Structure 1
Amino acid sequence: MKPPLLLIGQGSNDDADSAEFGRFVHRLRCRLDQKAADVSGGYLERATPRLSDSVASLVARGHHRLVALPLSLNRVGEEYPAAMEREQQRHPTLMYDYGRHLGPDPRVLALLAERLNDAATEMPRLRPLELVGGRPRLRAVEAGIADLHPGHIEPGETAVVLVGEGSTDPSANAEIHRVSRLFWETHAYDFMTVETAFVSVTPPGVPGGLERCRRLGAKRVIVVPYLLFAGGMLERVWAQALAYGAGHPELDIRCAEVIGDCETLADVVIDRYEEALQLVP
């Protein structure tokens, strides 16, 4: 039997993010069951199951070696390997191999291109926000005539803003700029430009990215979140874009969905798992 795969998430207070993480773990469990490998997932903080509980469960079931994989598009900090070192101290018999984060894998870029194309063809305009349980939530509304019949806009008049989470680590932020360039050259070269923005922590924010596109002469801007799952982070992206759009009604601003739980993403994770196994001497 192969060592189990342990997916490590950062964790958030958002139920939607946690639910999609859980569904993705289940998808991988179904996929890897054909290869006789167990799959589990745990968070570093703020959400359940916690990493420590998931590791304890695997050890209790007789697993003393596993592959730990950070489920992240971005460069991960020292907190991920540090967390696994703490688990090794709790369970002295535990051995683990550490897999690479997902990063701008060509299949990830292809998924971003799918979300971009969906937003360009299916979403007429940004949907307004309403408060649900004290938090801003997007809701669907009937589109007006102007929304249903926008003027024809060429791809060369359309800009893209790729939005990363934002970090205090300059190298992590530089990686998002690199992803934007890769995405433009491999999947979005017909568009005017692919600009980079961040949800928080570091500039430019989403409004800054949109403003740059407007000044470059874009008539339409499509915001593409460089995020795995829906949740509070995605809502912040949409809310910032909506707030900017309220002051610039002449600009057609559209927002794409996140990558989400899907088979292609599972393919990337399984490849990282197999890669980690092959690196073992």
Structure 2
Amino acid sequence: MTDAAATGVDDEAVLLVGHGSRREKSNEQVRELAAGLESRLGVPVDAAFLELAKPSIEDAIADLATVVSELTVVHCSLFAASHVKNDVPVSIEQARAEHDGLAINNGRHLGIHPAMLEVLDDRAAAVERDLGVDREDDEVTVVLCGRGSSDPDANADVHKLARLLYEGRGFDRVEASFVGVTEPTLEETLHDLSKHRPDAVVVLPYMLGDGVLTQRVRDWTADFDEDYPYVDALAGDPLGTDSRLLDVFADRWQEARTDSVEMSCDTCKYKVGLEGYEEDVGGARAMLRALTHQESHADRDDVDDEPHSHDAPAKHVAVCTNRTCAEAGAPAVLERLRQAVRDADDCDARVTRSSCLGRCGDGPMVAVYPDGVWYGDVAEDDTDRIVGEHLTDDRIVSDLVDQTL
């Protein structure tokens, strides 16, 4: 490695990646965690965001590439769903291609960790005090409420965490539930629990920030408390910026920089054919879904009711710039597409580079989403047709089609 003192480049930094929110308070929590982690590790720690806040991952890495030689990305994500498995890895691969002199280590999500269980136990104890109950003398039921995901691996971890919270802690029962996307929902779980007539129900929102979703959890819990007067129910606080999270981040940092990251690949829907998720298998499809993540969340008018809304382009174009496509002229195709989109009068599209699309020898490959159309053997001269006909007028350029998904 080049001598840092001679080049003015530090050895290492950390990038803590959060989701990003329209609510600056949530973004400030990520920055606060980054500052705490910097004090804990003794190395520079910056914060970046997937969306809705700045800086983006790409911009943050570009800035750090000028002052460090090694960067470790640590995820401010509770579970391994699409952001951890797709979105951040795609950004890292793009950054590796653009910053040859920067070594980038990719960590993993917070996951199931003893420190997280300690925080949850304390959150439950605080609610018990507010309700005036004692788990040793009263029947106390805990509901652990996650956000909910389309990834079965992430949802299963909520259930595992609930079981671990139950073990040895004296609760009558601990149930897993979700705000949405999957089942059981919190409302369903609370209704079912009413039949057991516990003395108290403690609802724990398993989320980092205190925003729309945590308020929704509080509102649903308050409604349940009013509807079932024979059960005392109250929702607790989210994880927030509890200092014990820094212990988990520090472990994830150490794993990443020592090449000892372990992911749950045996139950990853992008790796194996899980029942009901067979169509999700395949690295190229997963990667393209990551590139077009914003298109899965259409623009919504009521931001307060939908915290995950964002302004998305109508089309997302991915150009493979892996070795064989690059040798066939992909970089020139990428730049011509970007220029053509900029020059077009009415073209709402975003053009990005991608890693290998799995069609080596048939490139340059250009994939257009959400349409699922892949063009093969694309030349510079073809870019105007792709922009003018497909991106602008929604007419597929049939003679260039390699496959459709």
TM-score by length of 2: 0.57
**Aligned equivalents of 2:202, 2:11: Cα separation in 1:** 43
Aligned to 1:55: 61
Residue in structure 1 matched with residue 362 of structure 2 by the alignment: none
Identity %: 31
2:139 to 157, 164, 168: 157
2:154 corresponds to which of 172, 176, 188: 172
Structure 2 CA distance for partners of 1:90 and 1:232, relative to 1, 3 Å: farther
* Contact 1:166/1:201 (8 A) holds in 2: yes
Q: Secondary structure at the match of 2:197?
A: coil
Within a 5 Å distance, the mapping from 1:116-265 to structure 2 comes to: 116-121=124-129, 123-124=130-131, 156-186=138-168, 188=169, 190-265=170-245
Do residues 67 (structure 1) and 76 (structure 2) align? no
Q: State the shift of 1:254 in Å.
A: 1.2
- For residues 164-194 of structure 1, what are the alpha-carbon distances to aligned partners after superposition, in whole Å with 9 as ceiling and x for unaligned? 11001112111111111111114x3x11100
Larger Rg: 2
Alignment deviations for residues 241-262 of structure 1 (CA, whole Å, 9 cap, x no partner)? 2233332233211111112213
Q: 1:230 to 1:7 in 2, by over 3 A?
A: same
Change in CA separation of 1:95 and 1:251 when aligned onto 2, cut-off 3 Å:
same
- What are the ranges of 5 or more consecutive residues in structure 2 without an aligned counterpart? 1-9, 261-405
Structure-2 change in CA distance of 1:43 and 1:157 (3 Å): same
Root mean square deviation of aligned Cα: 2.1
Query: How many residues get paired?
Result: 248
Stretch deviating more after TM superposition (191-200 or 262-271):
262-271
Correspondence 1:8 to 2:17: yes
Structure with the greater relative contact order (CA < 8 A, sep ≥ 6): 1 or 2? Answer: 1
2:61 maps to a residue whose letter is V
TM-score, scaled relative to structure 1: 0.81
Separation (CA, whole Å) in 1 of partners of 2:243 and 2:21: 24
Structure 1 residue 76: Cα displacement: 3.3
Whether the aligned pair in 2 keeps the contact of 1:7 and 1:41 (CA below 8 Å) is yes
Aligned equivalent of 2:96, options 72, 81, 88: 88
Cα distance between partner residues in 2 of 1:114 and 1:164 = 17
Does structure 2 conserve the Cα–Cα contact (< 8 Å) formed by 1:17 and 1:230?
Answer: yes
Distance in 2, Cα, partners of 1:226 & 1:151: 22
Q: Secondary structure at the match of 1:49?
A: coil
